[in-house]
Amino acid sequence: MAIVWPCPLNVDEYAAAGRDVEVPRVACPECRRPMTFRSGYWRKADRDRLRFFVCRGQCRPCDRSHALLPAFCLLGRLDTVEVIGAVLARVAAGWGVRRAAAEAGVPHSTARDWRRRHRARAPALAVGLAGLVAALGGPAPRLSGEPERAAVEAVGACWAAASRRFGERTPPLWRMWSLLTGGTALGTATNPLSKAAGGWVLMPSSP
């Protein structure tokens, strides 16, 4: 299992820190006790341009470990969430997938897979994020009747509501999306976590 935490660094800064990157002690999603650290692993990012270290948290009472992913990641995706989000937003606005992929500098097949997963999850993402807008005290968002566009609009509405409530503590738009979905926005997991690092309440991320 992985836990996404609100990392303030950009991907280059994070990668440059290597194993010395500072990661907060987060709570175990099962027992809510602070976890210790247990080594980690290296993974690639940005079209194989970078390698960065992912720490692992260890919960001794539960005898489980969790990968601690910075919020610029999504589970199972090598590109940063900002790149992925930009492609999805352009496609939702009417761009062709090939054009959006070229603009982002990613292979067409990669962007096509992002779009396929997003399209499958769009109704659940839109409903879940719209619900969080209300939980954050924001006005009910008026969303498009087209699911993919509605899912992107809901991210923006949720970010606006969070910004009004938390101000500068609010993560950037697409990093917040990663936090709120536990990194599974484009994944295949069907059992979302109940809490994210930093106290962000998660929405159901099942398709």
Tokens 């992107």 sit at which residue?
152
Q: Look at 72 and 128; give whichever has higher pLDDT.
A: 72
Nearest one of 156, 160, 159, 155 to 205, comparing CA atoms: 155
Q: What is the mean pLDDT of the chain?
A: 87
Answer whether 0.75 is exceeded by the pTM: yes
Query: Rounded to the nearest 5 degrees, what angle is found at the Cα of 44, between the Cα atoms of 41 and 50?
Result: 115
Q: What is the pLDDT of residues 104-141, one digit of tens each?
A: 999 999 999 999 999 999 998 898 888 888 888 889 89
Neighbours of 109 (CB within 10 A): 9
Helices assigned H by DSSP within 136-190: 147-166, 173-180
Q: What is the pLDDT of residues 6-18, one digit of tens each?
A: 899 999 999 999 9
